[in-house]
Structure 1
């Protein structure tokens, strides 16, 4: 197993342990930390194993951090509704 996959597996274990701990801010601080650490790991996996395995690790990370992804999608949808074209 390569170093990038070991780091990705370790990231998933840490994410699950953090999810089991009690938190006053509903785990948002942990989510920000996991996002900051996870993005380079996804890039590292993609560089070593190609885009398909990188997308698989990205999908796994999105399933673990589903609420930040949901809020980001809502923010994008809300912002897309405000864009005014040249016709208006």
Structure 2
């Protein structure tokens, strides 16, 4: 297992621990996880290829589903230019 995949697994573990925390900490933890997860995802994709990167991306999106839903809802409400 490469170092990037180990780090991605640790990211997933931290994400699950953050989900167990108090509700008021979920959004700050989500922003921190997004900030840390994007470079990790790039590293995983670089080291292991795009298919493994897509699997890790799907795992990250499943953990961070609420920020993704809110972002999509905001994009839908945005007026057309």
Ranges of 4+ aligned residues in structure 1 off by more than 2 Å: none
- CA offsets, 1:14-36, max 9 Å, x none? 1101111224x251000000000
User: 1:32-88 deviations in whole A, cap 9, x for unaligned?
Assistant: 000000000000000011111111101100000000000011111112xx214xxxx
Alignment-derived partner of residue 13 in structure 1? 13
Question: 2:55 aligns to what?
Answer: 56
Using the size of structure 1 for normalisation, the TM-score is 0.87
Using the size of structure 2 for normalisation, the TM-score is 0.94
Q: How large is the Cα RMSD of the aligned pairs?
A: 1.1
Q: Which structure 2 residues correspond to residues 26-65 of structure 1 after superposition, within 5 A?
A: 27-65=26-64
Q: 1:27 is paired with a residue of what secondary structure?
A: helix
Higher helix share: 2
- In the aligned structure 1, how far is the partner of 2:54 from the partner of 2:73? 22
